[in-house]
Structures are given as C-alpha cells and as structure tokens.
Amino acid sequence: MITVVDTNSLIGLAKGGVLHFLPELFDVVRIPSAVFNEVAVAGAGRPGAAEVTVARDKWLTVETPPPPGHQLQAANLAPADRELLSLAGAVHANWVITDDRPARAVAQSMGLQPVHTVELVLAMRQLQLIPLCRVVLERMRAADFGIRDDLYEAVLRLAGEL
C-alpha cells in the first residue's frame, strides 16, 4: 500500500514519538518535496525535522510531484497541500494522511482516501506497536499538536481505552 503524508501529520507523529512506525503500517511512504522542505529545512531544530531527515531514503521517499492539474490549482490549498495531492494522484496512493479539512475534501473529490493522523495511532495500537493510544495522543497534545475532542474520544473508544 502506498501512502503520502502531509507536513502536520509528520510533525504530529514525531511529537507523539511514533513516526518511526509508519513503515510498519505502509509498504511505501512518500512525501512531496515541499513537505520535506517545510519539515526538515524550514523546520530545522523543530519536532519532526531530525526524524524526517533520518527517515529520508531509508523508508521515506521524497518526490517532486507533477504540476498540479486544474482542479488542484483552483482549490484553496497551501502549496504543500497541492503538491501532496498531486503526488497522491500521480502515484495512485491508497491513503493520504492529512488532518487539513480542505485538503481532505479535495482528496475525496479526486477519489483518494484521506486518513486522520490519530487514525494511524489507532492502527499502531491494533498492530500492538504501542501499548496505549492515550499515552501517544496525550504526548501529542502536550506538544501542542491539535487533536479535536471528537476524534480523540473516538480513537480511545475504538481502542477500548474510554
């Protein structure tokens, strides 16, 4: 399975201390160059920068996507989100990891499957990669990673932790 991941999700998973589990969930993990630049270059010294730099070319592939088509150019998206969705479409990604509502809506309109970052934490728990979702989610929240209350509670409920 191929997945593409956005900036915020990479940072959030790094803040939760679980970014390194992505290759356990997906066969191929790709990010567009704009996402790499946001996390590892512009974000040097911040959460996620070192982890993404180390992961590059080990299990994380950084790619330059094709130019965005008309639908993506017309969408009210950040440049990195346009690259994310352009890459996802080009590589026929099974999953697009993003919490950005506009990007999720456009992904769905393109026939792509968006996944929330917290859903990955649940998958890690289901695969017994982590003992509890709550610990990871609390670590992410404590590091100022925004998790909506409804998503937080839904994940904990599905994990049997609520």
* Under 8 Å between Cβ of 18 and 124: yes
CA angle 37–57–5, rounded 5-degree value: 55
pLDDT at 115: 97
Residue ranges of domains in the chain, CATH in brackets: 2-117 (3.40.50.1010)
Model pLDDT, residue 87: 96
- Of all residues in the chain, the percent with pLDDT exceeding 90 is 89
CB atoms within 10 A of CB 2: 16
**Dist CA 97 CA 44 (whole Å):** 22
Mean pLDDT of the chain: 94
pLDDT of residue 74: 66
84: left (phi over 0), alpha (psi -120 to 50) or beta: alpha
How far is Cα 76 from Cα 18, in angstroms, rounded to an integer?
A: 30
> Which amino acid is located at 50 in the chain?
A
Q: How much is the pTM? A: 0.94
CB 137 within 8 A of CB 152: yes
How do residues 84-135 score in pLDDT, each as one tens digit?
Answer: 999 999 999 999 999 999 999 999 999 999 999 999 999 999 999 999 999 9
Contacts of 133 (CB under 8 A, 6+ apart): 118, 121, 122, 124, 125, 155, 156, 159, 161
What pLDDT, on the 0 to 100 scale, is given for residue 70? 67
Token output for 36? 């790499």
> How far is residue 52 CA from its own chain's centroid?
12
Q: How far apart, in whole angstroms, are the C-alpha atoms of residue 151 and residue 43? A: 27
Question: 40-66: per-residue pLDDT in tens?
Answer: 999 999 999 999 999 998 999 999 998
Q: H/E element holding 138?
A: helix 133-142
Residue where the block lists tokens 């997945």: 3
Residue 73 has pLDDT above 90, yes or no: no
